[in-house]
């Protein structure tokens, strides 16, 4: 899935970026959209670069048009930028000269030049109804090219990158005057509507995206950090890129910040997942996005620009984001450009909290630790299983934190504290970049807290103690890769640009799950494994013996009606594994052993129902088949 491609357009700055183009599910499923390891696939930046190059030679009209639709995005090499700024400034004043779709046009040509073949990525048209008040919203990218043999530029190039992908719209969201953007799957609607308020726009200027030199992490190069305000609308131009780019660069890397209502059901990923799935196709897309993102973990692919996008297509106005640059992640690739959204980062915080500490003291500890870095103005909430722990007087032990052990459902929540809000102290603009990311650090902190406390498995459910234990093992194991995963999964981040929300929103900013390093968070969170008990297995076998396979819903209704955590899909899966288990040597079986007797029944029922069409002639209640008397039901030896 990882697509990388270098583009050297018109001899201008070459961009290289990691991009994860999407293809329709069907295409992907059928392998029509296999990744190409030779990097033949286009990259978003490549298109952007092409565009930039083209734009350099386009007339001002294009720029004007672009600026008028600045909700999209811009990516221009810095050296071009100066040029564009000038031209845009002029043309903005003279208004749009009717060069509708100039940007798109450029893009189309660019795509041709870049040998873009994918028909599904046909050059789209600029949305005619997209409006823009002409005010610039800009986000800066400072990029640093890694020196490579093929790179012409030996020195870093700076790029201005203005797009919804990165900042502008997010910032608008901050002020709750968001540009409404609804994203959806390929070839469907996207709406960029409502011009952003200048107010919102002005907030965007704080954003800053940077590229780091891979080989010089500590000496992070910062480049163009220009900003735009409503007073200086044209400081940065905007060039509209079509929805293709938008999808490439943004949607697949966006993730919504959990709202409290989502968080409330944090502990039941299933509910979240299924509910989300019902909302609309946006959420479907989102869900898919997360899924893909999750898959990216394996592919070491990343390009993270965190965004807030609710399933309704509205930006949420609260969220804590941390974007993170992980050198290690890049090491795996010979990428030339690394970039990271400027984030509000916090150095590692190690906090020792005794098990007997109270929740309140834990909160205070966290607040203290963080506030020394970002200042006051917030407080920390502790979430466990989707519920805020309000009783600060309870100890962690009493709160169940030490007992649960399962950090899946444990997290912190940074909340604004209006009484102490102080923009200056909270949002140190252009603050130095600290080496760590808050979510990660919170994670680590929490992990440490938990580990220091020593996980006491005083679980009341003996059947779960093992899984609890396993979870802890997993957590510690995953810790090492949390950085990468943060990037890939786009964990909520804490950006200076977002910080103003701290003063404007009463709602929790976000939940920072303690184990953000886990594969999924929020709605994509995998259900905690719940092994089938022997009794359940027996019930399943019983039901299948009577109903046959292929009637999992009936099986569910019959024997697992009151077990919400066992879906018919689960039952089906379990049966499949049972059949498999029964067919392999006992020595190869894992997990809690299932009595051979039951496995024999499994094989018998499986054989029987594979010979009989369960759907049609399934035995009825009270008249279960006598499998053991059926010749074909004899335990099969075959594998």
Q: Please name the residue that has the structure tokens 């899909």.
A: 569
Window contacting DNA (CB under 7 A); options: 115-123, 197-205, 257-265, 286-294 = 286-294
To the nearest whole angstrom, how small is the minimum distance from the Cβ of residue 527 to DNA?
A: 3
Could you give the strand order of the β-sheet that contains 208-211, starting from the edge strand earlier in sequence? 73-77, 159-163, 140-142, 208-211, 337-341, 144-145
Question: Binding of DNA at residue 35 (CB under 7 A)?
Answer: no
To the nearest whole angstrom, how small is the minimum distance from the Cβ of residue 581 to DNA?
A: 12
- Work out the angle between the directed axes of helices 78-93 and 60-68 (0-180°, nearest 10): 80
Question: Binding of DNA at residue 93 (CB under 7 A)?
Answer: no
CA 136/CA 139 separation, integer angstroms: 10
Q: Which H helix or E strand runs over 380?
A: strand 378-384
* Tokens at 307, concatenated: 């965004």
Question: Binding of DNA at residue 521 (CB under 7 A)?
Answer: no
CA 555/CA 568 separation, integer angstroms: 7
Question: Binding of DNA at residue 552 (CB under 7 A)?
Answer: yes
By C-beta, is 388 or 553 nearer to DNA? 553
CA 515/CA 271 separation, integer angstroms: 19
CB 179 within 8 A of CB 315: yes
Question: Binding of DNA at residue 551 (CB under 7 A)?
Answer: yes
Question: Binding of DNA at residue 29 (CB under 7 A)?
Answer: yes
Q: Which H helix or E strand runs over 390?
A: none
Using CB under 7 A, pick the residue from 133, 186, 217, 554 that binds DNA: 554
To the nearest whole angstrom, how small is the minimum distance from the Cβ of residue 118 to DNA?
A: 18
Using CB under 7 A, pick the residue from 194, 270, 281, 388 that binds DNA: 270
By C-beta, is 402 or 406 nearer to DNA? 406
- Enumerate residues 599-618 that contact DNA by CB under 7 A: 615
To the nearest whole angstrom, how small is the minimum distance from the Cβ of residue 31 to DNA?
A: 9
Q: Which H helix or E strand runs over 6?
A: strand 3-8
* Tokens at 541, concatenated: 């076998």
Question: Binding of DNA at residue 526 (CB under 7 A)?
Answer: yes
Question: Binding of DNA at residue 549 (CB under 7 A)?
Answer: yes
By C-beta, is 34 or 125 nearer to DNA? 34
Question: What does 34-98 look like in DSSP terms, one character per residue?
Answer: ---TT--S--HHHHHHHHHHHHHHS-HHHHHHHHHTTTSEEEEEHHHHHHHHHHHHHHHHT---S
By C-beta, is 99 or 471 nearer to DNA? 471
To the nearest whole angstrom, how small is the minimum distance from the Cβ of residue 75 to DNA?
A: 29
Question: Binding of DNA at residue 477 (CB under 7 A)?
Answer: no
Window contacting DNA (CB under 7 A); options: 290-298, 306-314, 385-393, 398-406 = 290-298
CA 599/CA 574 separation, integer angstroms: 12
By C-beta, is 317 or 517 nearer to DNA? 517
Q: Where does residue 295 rank: exposed (0-12), middle (13-18), buried (19+ CB within 10 A)? A: middle
By C-beta, is 171 or 290 nearer to DNA? 290
Window contacting DNA (CB under 7 A); options: 100-108, 161-169, 338-346, 549-557 = 549-557
Window contacting DNA (CB under 7 A); options: 73-81, 257-265, 270-278, 377-385 = 270-278
Question: Binding of DNA at residue 186 (CB under 7 A)?
Answer: no
3-class DSSP state for residue 559? helix
By C-beta, is 33 or 321 nearer to DNA? 33
CB 487 within 8 A of CB 439: no
By C-beta, is 347 or 550 nearer to DNA? 550
Question: Binding of DNA at residue 194 (CB under 7 A)?
Answer: no
- Work out the angle between the directed axes of helices 596-611 and 568-583 (0-180°, nearest 10): 110
CB 555 within 8 A of CB 542: no
Q: Where does residue 97 rank: exposed (0-12), middle (13-18), buried (19+ CB within 10 A)? A: middle
To the nearest whole angstrom, how small is the minimum distance from the Cβ of residue 39 to DNA?
A: 23
Using CB under 7 A, pick the residue from 572, 601, 606, 612 that binds DNA: 572
Using CB under 7 A, pick the residue from 299, 327, 550, 635 that binds DNA: 550
CA distances for 335 relative to 15, 151, 228, 303, 331, angstroms: 10, 11, 30, 12, 8
To the nearest whole angstrom, how small is the minimum distance from the Cβ of residue 626 to DNA?
A: 23
To the nearest whole angstrom, how small is the minimum distance from the Cβ of residue 176 to DNA?
A: 30
CB 199 within 8 A of CB 25: no
Can you give the C-alpha Rg of the chain in angstroms?
27
By C-beta, is 29 or 122 nearer to DNA? 29
By C-beta, is 206 or 287 nearer to DNA? 287
- According to DSSP, the residues that pair with 341 across neighbouring strands are 209
% helix / strand / coil in the chain, to the nearest 5?
A: 45, 10, 45
* Tokens at 372, concatenated: 């020394």
Question: Binding of DNA at residue 553 (CB under 7 A)?
Answer: yes
Alpha helix segments (H runs only) across 114-228: 168-174, 198-204
- Enumerate residues 311-340 that contact DNA by CB under 7 A: none
By C-beta, is 218 or 461 nearer to DNA? 461
Question: What phi, psi does 101 have (nearest 5°)?
Answer: 75, 20
Question: Binding of DNA at residue 530 (CB under 7 A)?
Answer: yes
CA-based nearest residue to 235, from 430, 65, 87, 89: 89
Length of the chain: 639
CA 250/CA 243 separation, integer angstroms: 10
To the nearest whole angstrom, how small is the minimum distance from the Cβ of residue 593 to DNA?
A: 18
Question: Binding of DNA at residue 34 (CB under 7 A)?
Answer: no
To the nearest whole angstrom, how small is the minimum distance from the Cβ of residue 553 to DNA?
A: 3
Question: Binding of DNA at residue 558 (CB under 7 A)?
Answer: no
Window contacting DNA (CB under 7 A); options: 140-148, 176-184, 204-212, 288-296 = 288-296
Number of residues counted as binding DNA (CB under 7 A): 33
Using CB under 7 A, pick the residue from 372, 529, 534, 624 that binds DNA: 529
Number of H helices, E strands in the chain: 25, 14
To the nearest whole angstrom, how small is the minimum distance from the Cβ of residue 293 to DNA?
A: 10
To the nearest whole angstrom, how small is the minimum distance from the Cβ of residue 536 to DNA?
A: 10
Window contacting DNA (CB under 7 A); options: 391-399, 435-443, 503-511, 551-559 = 551-559
- According to DSSP, the residues that pair with 16 across neighbouring strands are 6
3-class DSSP state for residue 472? helix
Using CB under 7 A, pick the residue from 216, 480, 573, 626 that binds DNA: 573
Question: Binding of DNA at residue 25 (CB under 7 A)?
Answer: yes
Q: Please name the residue that has the structure tokens 């986000």.
A: 139
Question: Binding of DNA at residue 474 (CB under 7 A)?
Answer: no
Interface contacts to DNA, rule CB under 7 A? 25-26, 29, 269-270, 273, 278, 287-288, 290-291, 294, 524, 526-530, 549-554, 565, 568-570, 572-573, 576-577, 615
């Amino acid at each position: 899935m990882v697509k990388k491609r270098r583009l050297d357009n018109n001899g201008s700055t070459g961009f290289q970026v990691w991009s994860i183009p999407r293809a329709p599910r069907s295409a992907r499923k059928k392998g029509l959209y296999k990744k190409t390891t030779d990097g033949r696939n286009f990259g978003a930046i490549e298109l952007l670069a092409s565009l930039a190059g083209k734009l350099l030679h386009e007339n001002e009209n294009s720029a004007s048009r672009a600026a008028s639709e600045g909700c999209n995005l811009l990516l221009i090499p810095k050296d071009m930028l100066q040029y564009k700024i000038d031209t845009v400034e002029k043309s903005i004043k003279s208004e749009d000269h009717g060069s509708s779709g100039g940007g798109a046009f450029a893009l189309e040509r660019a795509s041709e030049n870049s040998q873009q073949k994918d028909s599904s990525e046909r050059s789209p048209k600029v949305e005619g109804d997209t409006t823009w008040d002409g005010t610039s919203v800009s986000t800066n990218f400072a990029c640093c090219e890694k020196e490579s043999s093929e790179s012409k530029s030996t020195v870093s190039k700076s790029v201005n990158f203005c797009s919804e992908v990165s900042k502008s719209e997010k910032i608008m969201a901050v002020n709750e005057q968001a540009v409404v953007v609804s994203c959806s799957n390929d070839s469907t609607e996207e709406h960029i509507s409502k011009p952003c308020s200048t107010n919102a726009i002005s907030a965007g200027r704080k954003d800053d995206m940077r590229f780091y030199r891979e080989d010089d992490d500590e000496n992070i190069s910062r480049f163009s950090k220009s900003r735009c305000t409503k007073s200086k609308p044209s400081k940065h131009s905007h060039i509209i890129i079509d929805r293709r780019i938008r999808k490439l660069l943004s949607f697949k890397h966006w993730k919504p910040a959990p709202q409290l209502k989502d968080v409330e059901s944090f502990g039941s990923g299933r509910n979240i997942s299924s509910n989300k799935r019902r909302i609309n196709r946006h959420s479907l897309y989102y869900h898919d996005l997360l899924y893909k993102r999750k898959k990216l973990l394996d592919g070491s692919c990343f390009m993270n620009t965190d965004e807030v996008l609710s399933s309704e297509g509205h930006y949420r106005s609260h969220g804590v984001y941390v974007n993170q640059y992980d050198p290690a992640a890049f090491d795996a690739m010979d990428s030339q450009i690394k970039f990271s959204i400027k984030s509000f980062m916090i150095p590692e915080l190690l906090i020792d909290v005794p098990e007997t500490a109270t929740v309140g003291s834990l909160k205070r500890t966290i607040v203290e630790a963080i506030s020394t870095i970002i200042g006051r103005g917030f407080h920390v909430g502790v979430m466990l299983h989707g519920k805020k722990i309000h009783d600060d007087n309870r100890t962690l032990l009493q709160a169940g934190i030490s007992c649960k052990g399962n950090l899946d459902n444990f997290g912190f929540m940074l909340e604004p504290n209006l009484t102490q809000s102080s923009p200056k102290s909270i949002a140190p603009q252009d603050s130095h970049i600290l080496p760590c990311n808050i979510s990660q650090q919170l994670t680590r902190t929490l992990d440490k807290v938990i580990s220091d406390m020593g996980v006491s498995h005083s679980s009341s459910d003996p059947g779960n103690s093992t899984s609890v234990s396993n979870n802890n093992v997993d957590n510690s194991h995953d810790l090492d890769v949390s950085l990468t995963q943060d990037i890939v999964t786009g964990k909520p981040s804490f950006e200076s640009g977002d910080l103003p929300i701290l003063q404007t929103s009463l709602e929790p900013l976000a939940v920072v799950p303690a184990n953000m390093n886990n594969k999924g968070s929020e709605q994509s969170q995998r259900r905690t494994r719940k092994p089938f008990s022997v009794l359940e297995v027996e019930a399943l076998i019983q039901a299948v013996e009577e109903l046959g396979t292929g009637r999992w819903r009936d099986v569910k209704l019959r024997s697992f009606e009151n077990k919400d955590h066992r879906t018919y899909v689960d039952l089906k899966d379990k049966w499949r594994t049972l059949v498999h288990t029964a067919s392999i040597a006992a020595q190869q079986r894992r997990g809690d052993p299932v009595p051979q007797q039951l496995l024999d029944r499994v094989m018998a029922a499986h054989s029987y129902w594979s010979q009989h069409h369960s759907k049609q002639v399934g035995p009825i209640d009270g008249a279960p088949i006598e499998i053991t008397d059926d010749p074909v039901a004899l335990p099969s030896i075959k594998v």
